[in-house]
Structure 1
Amino acid sequence: MPERGNPLNLKDGELLPVVRCKPCGEGRYRITVSAGTCPIEAIEKLASPISSALQGKFENYAVTQRESDLAFNQVTFTVEDVMTDRSITAQSVKDLCLRDMTKLKVQVGVNIDLTTSGSMLLCGKTRSGKTTGAISLILQILAQGSDGHGSGVTIIDPKRAELSMCNRHVVTLDEDGEARAILNEMKAFAEAMRVRQNYLNVCSQKNGDAVHWWEVGFKPAILFLDEYVALRSIFPKKAAKDDDYCLATFDGLIKRIVTMGASAGSYVLISIAEASVEEGGLPSMLRSAMSTKILFRPTLPEARLLWDSEKLAELNTSRTYLQGDAWFSSTDGEHDLVTYVHFPRLTFPAYRELGRLLDEFYV
């Protein structure tokens, strides 16, 4: 019998499956186990035996992700050093920014690639680090400056809290408590998105092939909706005569930007306490369309509102998660599987810097 047991329950004479291992980044490896004569279900249960078998210089490594191929011929396990702290402590906005304007830094080795992903959904209860995480992404976009082609950064705070207090460019409720100014800003963002797309269409016609937003010098445009559920509850369900101020208009704008904006470099960033699809929560269509999903201080019941249970199988659910800890996925071809990340620690006055960069952006 094998020295470390027989997790596949093989009998004498049965062949071991083919195993391949290759590095996939600093401190990370992918181990692929081909099914062969072994049932795929048995191979899928190898995560724990693999983790416990890693010794010596790999004793701090463990399986963090598991993925079966579509034909169920093999299973790939991602193994990484789970004891290494890859988080970023930023003492200034410069510590956050990458040279590539199409990527947003999350932690060492993890970036959100805006060329292959779309709008972002940030979930988490109060004091989970959700707002600080959103600010860390917005600061990176503001630091790039405007492109002259509608690369606006629109921040909406319906609760008149810290965000709306930090700068006059943050949009909040009207004096009478309505959200008409917010709806107008959303319309302006959608119109700028349309103009950007038209410009790209003209460039594509001249070029004879598709032209992408980053190839013509566009910079990302972001519409950040803080406290989405609170904002949505403000709009009346029905509009008055000759007026479009209602929930349907709000929902229609969000759906349009989320589903069509990425090709023009225009993205929605939604902050929500819980990804519930119940009345007043996040519409299921939006939840599916948001290609980058982040859950701060995650719990398994909350995570199941965002991801299939199978994708959560190898995540550490017994760990005590702190502020800034999150589970993360993005359909960028690199982070499609759910993984653990820690968003940057901002040791500088984040709200003050946000206000300063907003002023510079809109000079």
Structure 2
Amino acid sequence: MSRANTRVVMRRHPNGMVTEADFAIEHGTAPEPAEGQALVQVKYLSLDPYMRPMMDPVRSYVPHLNPGQLMPGATIAEVVETRDPGLPVGTTVACALGWQEYGLVSAADVRIVDPEAGPISAALSVLGMPGVTAHYGLLELTEPKAGETVVVTAASGAVGSVVGQLAKLKGARVVGIAGGPEKCAYVVGELGFDSCIDYRSATFEEQLAEATPDYVDVLFENVGGPIFDAVLGRVNDHARVALCGNISQYNADEPYGLKGVRQLLMHRVTVHAFVIADHRGYWPRALPELSGWLADGSIRYREDVASGLVDAPKAFIGMLTGLNFGKQLVEVSAD
């Protein structure tokens, strides 16, 4: 059975801020599964900040994209045709098929998702890479203690929102940083942070000082740039930083040089720069805990879902500029 397959590829390397013209939509035919493979139809695509630096022709922890290559990404998909006995038709899987409607997988390449356990899209957010990133970066690397002050940048995002809730479960005092009053209200009112500061405010640094009277013990950093420097100006001796993201700089014409190196030295700060792709073996430890906390209501999450693969470039740009509210997904197929 021949199936039409839509794909989104990188048309060219972006120059500064990514634009929709940097992508191209391709139409073709879905591949046929060989022995030991299954054809899956993508239901949801995850859009994540790490994709942006992959579009630049520079050395990184993963190979950069070249023009004409498929945009990468985590997906939730359903088996529609199979020659792999471990993947019957109808099985829902988490896999990394990128920006396309159909792809080939084998049982060794996927994680089985139980649709009865909750919305399958959660396997791309709180029960997927963002949740495991939050768990590892906070609980394994920085180990917040009861009574300590934890600051989380991009606090309403897919990773930051989980980080703050986990820190509250550990008894910490949690201060979020987010963009706009609505996001800050969500971070405090629904996620349970102690306070949240709008980084766009003209009095941001004054508010940060008021929110951290005992200074900062743990910083979970997703943004970089001037916000990172501002928080470094408030760190305690022997503070710990989980350096997870640098989204403010991914589209910058000129890189922002870190100005807070003196603070790192003066206060003997430990900085843990990490990417969760280096820690695949950690997932089995984190996911059961995250699932339990989600089931009992200890942690919550929010999704921002775009409709249709052709809108993925627009949604991706919106995520990079802070327009999304919660985990950014694309519903590729609702069939």
- Shorter-chain TM band: 0.3 to 0.5
TM-score by length of 1: 0.30
The structure having more radius of gyration, on CA atoms, is 1
